[in-house]
Amino acid sequence: MTKQGYHGPLERLSDYVWRIPRAYKEGMRVEGRIFADDRLIDQIRADQAPEQVANVAFLPGIQTASLAMPDIHWGYGFCIGGVCATDPAQGGVISPGGVGYDINCGVRLIRTNLVRDDVQHRMKGLMDSLYRTIPAGVGQSGPYAFAGKQMRKLLAEGSRFLKSEGLATDADLDHTEAGGHLADADPEQVSGKAIARGVNQCGTLGSGNHFIEVQVVEEIHDPEAARVMGLEQEGICVMIHSGSRGLGYQVCDDALRTLRGVPERYGISLPDRQLACAPIESSEGQSYLGGMRAAANYAWANRQLLMWQARETFAEFFGKPWEALQMNLVYDVAHNIAKMERHVIDGEEKTVCVHRKGATRAFPAGHRELPDRYRPIGQPVIIPGDMGRASWVLVGQPGAMEQTFGTCCHGAGRVLSRTAAIQQAKGRRIDQELAEQGVVARARSWKGLAEEQPDAYKDVDLVVKVVHRAGLASKVARLRPIGVVKG
């Protein structure tokens, strides 16, 4: 399959929803739906990602529609920004391509009681301290190592294990999606090779689009929700974006190798072998789910340890305990995950497997899975942008439950491949360009900044506008980066 662009049908359903009809391809079990406005749909047509939306509609047991968020772009199997729910009672499948290689890549936001004036003239020193302290980049190891029984407990329990080690608080767990722990994780389904890759990488940032940013709250759109989250105008926040590192990558790679001939064994016909899958209730499906959940727990522990190191760095730099700086976790959300959830479909509440690939859970006010603090306002939805523009905090809305299985976009979405971004950056100093915009950037290499330059991404404000107006999540606050560490 080539990636020159999508030339199939796109029918407009509303100002912010487009349909790929079932009739487009024989074998589609449901239609495709893409959330976008006029400006974004032109960018989306230039990529083959809509073809992937149509291909996902072939999966057995898929419910309602194959969905894509406005940050949609080409991925492995599923597009980035792809969402689908499958019903195990109808032969529904689990597909590693619907989760991705970086299992439970996600983002967390920490608020502080600092304001812009407290840090503005000390940003270079602060970013140097974060850069020295927090391991970032390909293959980097960190100060924590987990092996043997400790690793098995971490894979089984996620952030709960770190609490028993004095590296997490009750509040940290309460403000992490799923409490930082997926039940039924099976460390036995994680290969020795995967475990070896993860022994000393928990608490490390990685490379690519992963980052730690210092941000300032620039705009508040929902004062009450912002108050509940502890976000104030001019307040300083820290955003962390990372995942399951080499361990998660290996779990996915192992699963894809194992599942290579499985669809044919179960009589499943697919238009793309990257959609390799297995029935959820099969032994193969359960094996992948057990390993995927273990990798997801590892990722939550990774972000928890990254936050712990950031707290320690701030405490040393500002000469106050992190508790005195009120460096409290606002929320942590997963971006690449498959979870068993209860949803109402065609008037019936049922348990389905929701695949979110480059997409974020966005549960509304009152949902039973939300912590008491957020049940009145809805789940915080954290949408990182690019290094030069902004990130957003929203809250989930009832429209997400009605339209997208409680899901929203996860970021701005790429418009340039990493190769194209590097080509475009030749002869430029991205760090200096960012400095002119008021952003202090630290990175292991010029290439890392070039790949992630602002021009490589869609405008996050446009993406957020779509999910806001489509009723999936509503705006709470806009945060502007003033310092960034990249791998």
Query: Catalytic amino acids?
Result: 410
CA distance 99 to 77: 9
Residue 107 backbone dihedrals phi, psi, to 5 degrees: -140, 145
The alpha helices in 28-147, defined as continuous H runs, are 38-45, 49-56, 116-119, 123-133
Q: In sequence order, what are the beta bridge partners of 18?
A: 12, 34
Contact 212, 205 (CB under 8 A): yes
Matching residue, tokens 């039940």: 183
User: Coil, helix or strand for 180?
Assistant: helix
Residue type, 335: H
User: Coil, helix or strand for 36?
Assistant: coil
CA distance 194 to 106: 20
**CA angle at 110 for the pair 382 and 316, rounded to the nearest 5°:** 150
User: Coil, helix or strand for 199?
Assistant: coil
Q: In sequence order, what are the beta bridge partners of 332?
A: 108, 176
The alpha helices in 142-203, defined as continuous H runs, are 148-157, 159-164, 170-174, 192-198
218's CB contacts (< 8 A; 6+ apart) are 390, 477, 478, 479, 480
The token duo for 233 is 């105008």
Q: In sequence order, what are the beta bridge partners of 331?
A: 109
Task: Give me the sign of the Cα torsion angle 186, 191, 194, 199.
Answer: positive
Residue type, 73: H
303's CB contacts (< 8 A; 6+ apart) are 106, 108, 240, 242, 332
Contact 283, 265 (CB under 8 A): no
CA within 13 Å, CB half, 22: 10
CA distance 414 to 137: 20
Contact 186, 290 (CB under 8 A): yes
**CA angle at 142 for the pair 209 and 176, rounded to the nearest 5°:** 60
